[in-house]
Amino acid sequence: MFGWDVLVIQECENPETSVDTAYTDWAEQFHWVGRLSHKGLGLFLRPGLEAEEIVSNDRSNKYFINVKLSNGLQLLAVWTQADTQRSRGYIYMLWDYLKSNEDVLDWDNLVVVGDWNSNAQWDTKRKIGNHTDVCNLLHSRGLKSCYHHAANRPHGSELEHTFFMHRNPEKPYHIDYMFAPKRMLSADQEMVIGNREQWLALSDHLPISYRLNAQFSGD
């Protein structure tokens, strides 16, 4: 019945305050964070899979959800956004979060996934905490990008795109990512990116998905 275990959805409504009964019935198990009830970050679990929140947000405009699943995996859902200080917005928010919680994160079992609103081609906008800094930090901890591992391409030279500004096919970018420990990645599997023609009718982002090897530290 379920083709997924965990869904990370940006710009979604808070199921606790929604009046859409179809939505609230579907969202049986979830974690959600946001300042606006109609536009936040949601992490949804299939029935039977539970998650305990590890790190709570100390600022309401930081859209991160960090949970430990009942199978031992720790998942960090991400949606980076602008900040009142330009230098501290977008990818810097993820950099700051990772550095601030470096001792709390279970790096051997950590998956980081979501909308980073970032690409290595924009590195020059920040001297510290840019896209490459974040990738290097994750790499140093043994995490690999699901897309780049399979495509064997460096960041900033992606051939496939996950976002089209204003749903315009002429303005493509690759700004959504999933990182996981290398042992959880399959040599013969690629990250799946949703069909552009189908999804641009609904959103400016295309969904990304990847089936991890179910191997966890201590198994």
Q: What is the mean pLDDT of residues 93-98?
A: 95
Closest CA to 9 of 27, 17, 20, 138: 27
Rounded to whole angstroms, the Cα distance separating 106 from 104 reads: 6
Distance CA 172, CA 167 (A): 9
Q: Which of 72-76, 106-110, 188-192, 214-218 is the least confident region?
A: 214-218
Q: Give pLDDT tens digits for 125-166.
A: 999 999 999 999 999 999 999 999 999 999 999 999 999 999
Residue 202 predicted with pLDDT over 90: yes
- All domains in the chain, ordered by first residue: 52-209 (3.60.10.10)
Collapsed DSSP state (helix, strand, coil) of residue 167:
helix
- As a whole number, the mean pLDDT across the chain is 92
Instruction: Determine the residue type at 96.
Output: D
